[in-house]
Chains A and B, each alone.
Chain A
Amino acid sequence: MSARVLLAEDEENILTSLTFLLERAGYDVSVETEGPKVLKAALSTPPDVLVLDVMLPDMDGYEILRRLRASPATERLPVLMLTAKGQREDRETALRCGADLFITKPFANSEIINAIGELAEKRLQ
């Protein structure tokens, strides 16, 4: 059974490339583009890995992550955060909010696929 990855990202082209890469790597990919919907999807059917962009419409990634960590179902959900802001504070905020990994855009494809693989593996163990 393949691992389920939820992509929370509002940039269409980035979604396209990530979906392409993940599906070909054998993941079951679902997509959400707006903050509240991401939260709802993650809580109702928790994926194996959540790839979460910081800058989402209506609710930012940090807030979503904080809420997920507050719920028992998603308390330990592996989360990879993406951001286009490369500053150190962003990394710190992300890790404090409970992100497992943090990747800055633009990223190498291998980098993000390996990271997701790592998280999925941990989840399945």
Chain B
Amino acid sequence: MIDNADLQLARRKTRDRSVALLVLGIVLLMPPMVRIAQIDTTVFGLPFALVYLFAAWGLLVIGAALLARPLRDSEKPIASATSDDTTG
């Protein structure tokens, strides 16, 4: 089946993206990147560091939410994955 090859490629992409998200999270939240947030300025009256951390955190949550379902489905057997995606 031609679809299967495409599907497998898509699944690999999904998993690659989950690695990318994890690496992004570590880079954003760990030194030296977090030090960039260590500047004495404000955003909408809030300290920049605070905004930066929560923004990064929120970004990661959104990324994880977007990836959760494709990742979960990437373990389904290929034959049925194409048809039954209506549940859950």
Contact, chains A and B (beta carbon distance below 8 A): no
What residues make up the interface of A, taking CB atoms closer than 8 Å to B?
none
